[in-house]
Structure 1
């Protein structure tokens, strides 16, 4: 059984805002989906069901299917994947360099702590004399 129009109103207004590219809660350019319409309306997406709001539900689904972004081509995906692989290699090299720096600094720190303890012992011995 459909709900009253007053309950459907925030959903319809959210749908219109998204279609006009003027969302108030979501990011500009967010895709128009059932979930995003519900989020834009400030309603739990699970509540926006076809049995509750059949007409609006069908409108949003139809609009979403018509205006869906075309899937990116295989070449673009391959280029992006290659770019991602290069980025991962670069970041792994950076991690390795930073790890080496941490190891070197840890060694220096241990040496300084040892020297500091020796100096403290000398001071204590000096005061005892």
Structure 2
């Protein structure tokens, strides 16, 4: 919204404040932080035009909004940090479990190979034993 000639300075400042809060500034780039200076710039005035002596209620609103949102932003950063650490911990756990799984699979493959070798050795020894001592035959009547 372009300010009309009939808008008061305070109305232009309030409109600029609302646009900045909504993240849809017209004069400043998107994502510009809300501050007293940026509200004045977004209203199309010098950054010093928005004075506490002239617009005390508006200045208090801007400062309160900035304070509340800076707390929320800090809380959001803290939540994201906790989530990142939790994700990193989980990724470490996954890597550790994958290493354990790979080691267990290796041990299983070794055990299976050994069982096959032992079965082959048993069969070979059984064959030698059968050559030396033939199995008993059934008696016929």
Normalising by structure 1, we get a TM-score of 0.49
Q: Which has the higher contact order (CA 8 A, sep 6+)?
A: 1
- The structure whose Rg is larger is 2
